[in-house]
Structure 1
Amino acid sequence: MKYLLPVYELQIGDILMVNRYDTTANWIREKTNSNYSHVLIYRGDNCFLESDGLGVASVNPYRLLFDKLEDVCILRLKDTSKLSKIAQSIGNAANKIGTSYATPLEVGRGMDCKDERMVANQPNRQFCTRFVAQIYKEAGLPVVKNADYCSPKDFEDSDMLFKLNISLLEASEEQIEFANEKNPPIQLLTEATFTFFDNVRTLVGKDIQTFPQLDEFLRLNPKFDEQITKILEKTDYLWVGDLERQLNSHLYDFDSFIQYYGFENALNYSLSELPHEINRTANFKNSIEVYKKLYDETSLKYFDAHYKCYQKQLQFSQERFTVFSQVVMSNHDY
């Protein structure tokens, strides 16, 4: 038997505590006396953010399978009036996708730290609990005593969180197949991002971990523009959106969409995705504005490449939105 999360019950800021059974996970549970070994945070839009062994990445909740009911716990903030602050902080944290994982020594300090005053030795690196704790700290919510060094146990014991009473769903064969199949767009984007920053750090000799950090570096060091742009173009980063559109072409045409899902499933899919698509559109428009301004100020090729990439992503998002809207509006015809 395999289990899935009831994603429809999640809200932005929910903390997912999970068990893994590799050597590191076993060590974390033993070292911290915790019931869990890994922590993720729900971003909304059917997306978790986490910092795993590679670094900060996004995770599709429908690809998270669990063998045991007790391997999962959802923690939620008690004060729901603070959710807007959490949403903004999570949005900022998404800029850290691609950030490298902290060294084993730094992670070990995090699992063993009892001093609330101790500050991070590697403030530009992340591990799972630090990543989530810092999101809450930025929102003015100290859910753990030390956001730089904390363990899963610290979240379990937090007075600001409560355990959500949810029931996992039994996964169908189709859902298990979907969860286990490779997801080229997300996988390629993650690999491309990590590869890109690894090469950039080698080139410039700086511990640059995020796109905002790189944006600022290039503003001050435009001589690296052409080299860094070439590094970006050699990865799949700029083309992942095109691949997603190719693989999921049924999402971009009304008739194909209905044929692929059947009308009832297409309607449910559309109703669930329309709010997420609105959020994506807003995010793409914001990124377009940011990179257009940077390009207008500097004329750097790197900023122009990002500007054009986000323009294309906005176009794809609007195409999907049109199809979903058509399905909803045509409900009375079926």
Structure 2
Amino acid sequence: MKRLIGDSIRPGDILFSARRGVSGKIVRGVTWGEVSHAMICVQHSSFIDSTMEGVLAHNIQRLFFEDDESVFHFRLREGVSPEKLAAITEYARSQVGTRYSLPEAARSVIAVRKPRSRQQFCSRLVAQAYGKAGFELVPDPDYCSPEVLRNSPLLQELPVQTETVSKEEFEWWSTSDNAIEKSKEAYKTLFKRIREFAPDVENHDDLLKFRARHPDADPYVVEALHDSGLLDLWQVDIDLHPSRYDHTLMAQQRGESVRHYCISTVREAYTGGIRYAQNLATLKRVFKDFPRPSLELEIALYETLTRNHQSRREVAYSWLRAHHPDDLAQDMEQIAPHSPEWFRVVEVVDANLNALSKYAVQQEDSPYVCSTCGDQPAHAYRIANEADVNPGVPSLSLCEDCLEIRRRMGYILDPFFDR
């Protein structure tokens, strides 16, 4: 057995495979192609695809291939901005739970076209994700085969980096707990239960709209959330890796594997968990107009997930600062205040700050102003405890007066590394 080396794969990368089995052989035969499946990386060690189980997230470490099985690694030829990359990965995440459309997958390889449904199949999911960011990988993203997608002139093939997986390790991975795999099962259970009384719901966005229109159905949604196990799923990773969330326990850890984990964590210090804060902000906005008990449950869930991500980040940050400060200075993700990426995030999680900062930048015709009052000079600071004081806001540009005010408000603010 073999698997891909996770460090060689970036968010936005597309993986193609020639999976064994009848369906894979049919797809390759009809399209005269080498591949039958496509998937997209959305985060370090995490990818999303659409299979007969629906659209789900998976762990790259658990993606195993036979030794003679073909795997291909592709990336966009041109550079992609953080904003466009976020649009790509956010769309893929938004489709989690959506059902697989076997009939439409079949039409994509035999050139039969009908109005598309809202369901997904693997190559449609990838092509549409890129389309959300303005990249037309194929002429018809609604109906394209994996082979057509692989031959897109906008993509370039990269060398596939794999490593051997021993029989013992494969058996261990197959039987051990894993948060991503449990999340997959929880989402499958949730949407199966939801569709018993709301058959048109495909994903979480649909579920939000359904609850707004059908308050009488909310008790069933509450029951489905509890039965799915989704509300307590965050505890799995803490039980498996307690040191990742505890400064004292992590301080006792040593070795290259710990160093590698901490580096990978700070590289996605804020973008790795921004979806939690964005979902939290969205749920709170919906709750103001539609105060449903099921929304309260999800708000509590995403508050917990946001704090847990903060704990992981700060524990990794502290360990690297103590043992490998050069790694921290080089690899710590820094989202510059008032950059396009910063505004894209803040627009969702704090509309007031977004408007205030945009006005200040426009008035002074410079991004290097205080995010609060517009004064200069101002300096960039990361928010170490954003989950507690301003969920999702990664950084601020502050003058001396506003820096002192924010610190009195409970903000823990660290200067940016000078690069």
Q: What is the TM-score when the length of structure 1 is the normalising length?
A: 0.89
Q: Deviations over 1:45-65 (max 9, x none)?
A: 321110011000111111112
Give the counterpart letter for 2:260 in structure 1: N
Q: Which residue of 1 aligns with 2:260?
A: 268
Q: Deviations over 1:231-263 (max 9, x none)?
A: 21122011110222122223223453465x633
Once the two structures are superposed, the pairs formed by residues 47-62 of structure 1 within 5 Å of their partners are 47-62=46-61
Give the counterpart letter for 2:161 in structure 1: S
Q: Which residue of 2 aligns with 1:145?
A: 139
CA contact 1:3–1:69 (8 Å) conserved in 2: no
Q: Which residue of 2 aligns with 1:318?
A: 310
What SS class does the counterpart of residue 270 from structure 2 fall into?
Answer: helix
* 1:197 correspondence with 2:191: yes
Shift of 1:68: 3.1
The structure showing larger relative contact order (alpha-carbon pairs under 8 Å, at least 6 residues apart) is 1
Once the two structures are superposed, the pairs formed by residues 156-167 of structure 1 within 5 Å of their partners are 156-167=150-161
Measure, in 2, the Cα distance between the counterparts of 1:269 and 1:331.
Answer: 13
Measure, in 2, the Cα distance between the counterparts of 1:282 and 1:160.
Answer: 28
Higher-Rg member (1/2): 2
Shift of 1:11: 2.1
5+ long unaligned stretches in structure 1: none
Q: 1:31 to 1:321 in 2, by over 3 A?
A: same
CA contact 2:71–2:160 (8 Å) conserved in 1: no
* 1:216 correspondence with 2:209: yes
* 1:168 correspondence with 2:162: yes
Shift of 1:185: 2.5
Count of aligned positions: 325
Measure, in 2, the Cα distance between the counterparts of 1:264 and 1:9.
Answer: 18
How big is the alpha-carbon RMSD for the aligned residues of Structure 1 and Structure 2? 2.3
* 1:291 correspondence with 2:289: no
Q: Deviations over 1:106-159 (max 9, x none)?
A: 22112212x6xx3544x2111111111111122221111211111111022211
Q: 1:318 to 1:262 in 2, by over 3 A?
A: same
What SS class does the counterpart of residue 74 from structure 2 fall into?
Answer: strand
5+ long unaligned stretches in structure 2: 326-419
Q: Which residue of 2 aligns with 1:125?
A: 119
Measure, in 2, the Cα distance between the counterparts of 1:325 and 1:88.
Answer: 27
CA contact 1:47–1:58 (8 Å) conserved in 2: yes
What SS class does the counterpart of residue 48 from structure 1 fall into?
Answer: strand
Give the counterpart letter for 1:276 in structure 2: E
Once the two structures are superposed, the pairs formed by residues 203-282 of structure 1 within 5 Å of their partners are 203-204=197-198, 206-257=199-250, 262-282=254-274
Measure, in 2, the Cα distance between the counterparts of 1:159 and 1:169.
Answer: 29
Q: 1:46 to 1:314 in 2, by over 3 A?
A: same
* 1:105 correspondence with 2:93: no
Give the counterpart letter for 1:99 in structure 2: T
Mean CA deviation greater in 266-275 or 161-170: 161-170
Measure, in 2, the Cα distance between the counterparts of 1:70 and 1:188.
Answer: 26
Measure, in 1, the Cα distance between the counterparts of 2:164 and 2:37.
Answer: 22
Shift of 1:186: 2.3
CA contact 2:12–2:88 (8 Å) conserved in 1: no
Q: 1:191 to 1:264 in 2, by over 3 A?
A: closer
